[in-house]
Amino acid sequence: MNLTFKLAWRNIWRNKKRSLITIASVFIAVFLAIFMRSMQLGMYGNMINNVVKTYSGFIQIHKKGYWDEQTLNNAFKYRKGLVDSLKQIEGVVDVIPRLQTFSLMSSGHLTKGVMIQGIDIDKEKGLVSWEDRLISGNLFSNNDNSIIVTKDLAQYFNKKVGDTLVFIGQGYHGMSASGKFSIGGIIDMKNPKLNKLLVFVPLKLAQDYNSAENMVTHLIINKDDNAENDLIFDQINDKLDQDHYEVMTWEKMIPELKETIQVDNLGGILMIGILYMIISFGILGTVLMMTEERIYELGVMLAVGTKKIKLNLMLVFESIVLSLLGVLLGILLVSPIIYYYHINPLVIPGPKGQALKDFGFEPLIPFSTDWKIIFTHAMIIFTIAIIASIYPILKVSFLKPVEAMRAK
């Protein structure tokens, strides 16, 4: 085996220029593929974080049927035992309760339907960057009687911090709900739709207002950034009684985001596909040359008693080593760059960046450092190299010494 590897290794460096060109082409392909995919997948990750961490969370638990009929009557009792058991799942950072309902908000002659979110502000801070979104005033504490309104609502009612708003609606199981609360803070949710709709209320206050003591409509799962969403989803499902609860991932709750990413991702995959086609022909061309120009020599080796399997191993090893060097070089050079842009994301400038801002997205592209991107593209290159090796394997399998030695 050593002899085979020795021959292969020396054959690689026998024509340095050709080998270096092959290594360079593999390197460029790997570099570009990992760079592009890290950028693209990093951007999607950021989009998901923007949306999911702003509002929905990665996974939500509701009473069964709530998603189809989002009324307070589909709330469920908050059970500490259940929450504690969910928190034991690996990757789950916290379980955040919410009570969500709709109500009329009024001041003077103005009235508007709003969505009231009863939240535990201390727990929510682990999911949402509230301080960054606060325009004026302060965040309430869980025992306060003040509320936070979104900026467009404050503007609509022409209210500022310290002003009062009146609420009237229907509480749990048809109870009447009414109240008067002062504005403690005004917030920008970085999302035009949410800015016209949301009012945040301390959870306890929301429960009192709705006569829904200890009731919640949502349990939001806050997870570790690196934890697998699907894995946590499966484990939660295992722990919960399927007849009473429904568990939903963000993909199901916000399908439009998933579809947007899928469509955009197709373009990226197409580009990578073209890149790999080019590199495949490059590798195949090299393998063809390396085989064809050595047919005579291979014939001689066969004549003096070299087994075909050894010749095949030698040729396969040559193309694997060339690819491996290109892949390693690519990984080595691209890794610090993607890490740099992971820590210091690219900023999308100009109107495009502003448009993203207006829709609640940060105009940033933090590169993904997911090792799977690197592994996947390294494996693709190896597969291409192995497939390209089929040609010399076939050629050697049918090689006859006399015919090969006539090739000179």
Partner 1 sequence: MNNIVIKTNNLSKIYHQGEIEVNALNNVSCEFQKGEFTAIVGPSGSGKTTFLNIIGGLDSPTSGYVQIADVNISKLKSSKLIDFRLHNIGFIFQAYNLIPVLTAKENVEFIMLLQGTDKEYRNKRTHDLLEEVGLGELVNRRPTQLSGGQQQRVAVARALASKPRFILADEPTANLDSKSTTQLLDIMAKLNEEEGTTFIFSTHDQRVIDRAKRIIVLEDGKIVEDKK
Pick one of 188, 297, 362, 370: the residue that binds partner 1 (CB under 8 A).
297
Q: How far is the CB of 11 from partner 1 (least distance, A)?
A: 6
Alpha helix positions (H), 304-348? 308-343
Build a one-symbol-per-residue string for 251-290: x at contacts with partner 1 by CB under 8 A, - elsewhere.
Answer: ----------------------------------------
Q: How far is the CB of 308 from partner 1 (least distance, A)?
A: 7
Sign of CA dihedral 266, 268, 272, 274: positive
- CB nearer to partner 1: pick between 151 and 310: 310
Pick one of 308, 335, 337, 393: the residue that binds partner 1 (CB under 8 A).
308
Confirm or reject binding of residue 300 to partner 1 (CB under 8 A).
yes
Confirm or reject binding of residue 204 to partner 1 (CB under 8 A).
no
Confirm or reject binding of residue 293 to partner 1 (CB under 8 A).
no
- CB nearer to partner 1: pick between 193 and 400: 400
The span of 17-25, 158-166, 211-219, 296-304 binding partner 1 (CB under 8 A) equals 296-304
The Cα 312–Cα 300 span in angstroms is 15
Strand 147-150 and strand 164-170: the pairing is unpaired
**Cα 234 off chain centre by:** 18
CB 261 within 8 A of CB 47: yes
Tokens of 185: 């803070």
Confirm or reject binding of residue 150 to partner 1 (CB under 8 A).
no
Q: How far is the CB of 34 from partner 1 (least distance, A)?
A: 33
Q: Among 55, 76, 56, which residue's Cα sits nearest to residue 64?
A: 76
CA atoms within 13 A on the CB side of 182: 10
Q: b vs e for 325-357, b when ≥16 Cβ sit within 10 Å of the residue's Cβ? A: bbbebbbeebeeebeebbeebeebeeeeeeebe
Confirm or reject binding of residue 10 to partner 1 (CB under 8 A).
yes
DSSP state of 351: H
Pick one of 52, 92, 95, 301: the residue that binds partner 1 (CB under 8 A).
301
- CB nearer to partner 1: pick between 263 and 402: 402
Q: How far is the CB of 38 from partner 1 (least distance, A)?
A: 39
The Cα 11–Cα 13 span in angstroms is 5
**Which residues from 347-406 bind partner 1, rule CB under 8 A?**
400-402, 405
Q: How far is the CB of 5 from partner 1 (least distance, A)?
A: 12
Residues, the chain, total?
408
Pick one of 243, 304, 336, 351: the residue that binds partner 1 (CB under 8 A).
304
Beta bridge partners of 134: 187
Q: How far is the CB of 402 from partner 1 (least distance, A)?
A: 4
Confirm or reject binding of residue 17 to partner 1 (CB under 8 A).
no
Pick one of 51, 92, 302, 381: the residue that binds partner 1 (CB under 8 A).
302
Confirm or reject binding of residue 303 to partner 1 (CB under 8 A).
yes
Query: Strands, DSSP E only, in 120-231?
Result: 134-137, 147-150, 164-170, 176-187, 198-202, 215-216, 218-223
- Residues that bind partner 1 (rule: CB under 8 A) add up to a total of 21
- CB nearer to partner 1: pick between 180 and 307: 307
Residue 338 vs residues 47, 190, 365, 367, 368: alpha-carbon distances, Å: 18, 27, 11, 6, 7
Confirm or reject binding of residue 305 to partner 1 (CB under 8 A).
yes
- CB nearer to partner 1: pick between 208 and 297: 297
CB 26 within 8 A of CB 281: no
Confirm or reject binding of residue 322 to partner 1 (CB under 8 A).
no
- CB nearer to partner 1: pick between 6 and 372: 6
The Cα 236–Cα 229 span in angstroms is 11
Confirm or reject binding of residue 307 to partner 1 (CB under 8 A).
yes
Residues at the contact surface with partner 1, assessed by CB under 8 A: 3, 7, 10-11, 14, 297, 300-308, 310, 400-402, 405, 408
